[in-house]
Amino acid sequence: MSDISAVATRIRFVLVRTSQPGNIGAAARAIRTMGFARLVLVAPQRYPDAEATAFAAGADAVLDDAVVVPDLKRAIADCHAVYGATARQRNVALTEYTPREIAPRVQADALAGAEVALVFGNERTGLENDELALCHGAVHIPTAADYSSLNLAQAVQVLAYELRIRLLDNPAAPPPHRTDPPASAGAMEGFFEHLYTTLNDIEFHKGRSPETIMLRLRKLFLRAAPDERELRVLRGILADAQRMARLARGGS
């Protein structure tokens, strides 16, 4: 059997505000069986807990190494690609993928040296809007239209399984869509702020809602996932547009 560990070490599973420790244990087991190891717990309601250990059923090492952080921002601070798993469909702000579609992207990102996070929400409420806003894409497991919510650990299992199959079937696949890692989440946010002020400077909005435009543009650029060099070119264009706008206003 091929060794998937080189890629697996760059992939973390992030569980946000999990309420049932049993689900944390079952998720650890799901991760471990598929050859992954990295679990990050964002503000778990009960942890550590005997129930988590019991449900992990021997995948204790994953639990022992789990990193606990207070918020999602901290869980993904060093990540380049962040994908949020959602039970609900038709997310306006993010491009949506199936697990099978996301697997080659995750593989390519990791092969290019990126740190990748797969983010899962609370059992009852899922991921909040401000948590989804930190994600670069959404993953939806296709379900029955009228009942779309899987158990948390089972959703983790499905994503981990699809990733494993991809890695086993294409162990040395060349990155299908990139050679450099995508720019960091922080660099992307810096770019979006620059874009926002530039659109104001060139009086782009003319009565239209800047928020709606920014959501559309975020979706576009997060789907494209530019690398640092590409981002520098884009920011150079913005800086020139700002300079021209200043000149047009008669400034220096």
Enumerate binding residues for ligand SAH (CB under 6 A). 85-88, 120-121, 123-124, 126-127, 139-141, 143, 148-150, 152, 155
Nearer to ligand SAH (CB atom), residue 112 or residue 155: 155
User: Residues near 7 by Cβ (< 8 Å), separated by ≥ 6?
Assistant: 107, 110, 111, 167
Q: Which residue is nearest to ligand SAH (CB)?
A: 126
Q: Would you list the DSSP string of 161-217?
A: HHHHHHHHHSTTPPPSS-SSPBPPHHHHHHHHHHHHHHHHHTT--TTS-HHHHHHHH
**Shortest distance, CB of residue 104 to ligand SAH, whole angstroms?**
18
**Shortest distance, CB of residue 161 to ligand SAH, whole angstroms?**
13
**Shortest distance, CB of residue 122 to ligand SAH, whole angstroms?**
6
**Shortest distance, CB of residue 119 to ligand SAH, whole angstroms?**
7
Q: How buried is residue 1: exposed, middle or buried, by Cβ count under 10 Å (0-12/13-18/19+)?
A: exposed
CA atoms within 13 A on the CB side of 108: 14
Nearer to ligand SAH (CB atom), residue 120 or residue 191: 120
Nearer to ligand SAH (CB atom), residue 102 or residue 222: 102
User: Rounded to the nearest 10 degrees, what angle do helices 21-33 and 152-169 cross at?
Assistant: 10
**Shortest distance, CB of residue 176 to ligand SAH, whole angstroms?**
23
105 alpha-carbon distance from chain centroid: 11
Q: Which residue has the tokens 């204790």?
A: 60
**Shortest distance, CB of residue 190 to ligand SAH, whole angstroms?**
28
Nearer to ligand SAH (CB atom), residue 1 or residue 145: 145
Nearer to ligand SAH (CB atom), residue 141 or residue 231: 141
Nearer to ligand SAH (CB atom), residue 111 or residue 155: 155
Nearer to ligand SAH (CB atom), residue 33 or residue 149: 149
The Cβ of residue 123 has, within 10 Å, a number of other Cβ atoms equal to 17
Measure Cα distances from 67 to 75, 195, 242 in Å. 9, 34, 43
**Shortest distance, CB of residue 192 to ligand SAH, whole angstroms?**
24
CA atoms within 13 A on the CB side of 67: 14
Here the tokens at position 224 are: 């494209």
Here the tokens at position 33 are: 């069986």
CA dist 178 and 40 (Å) reads 27
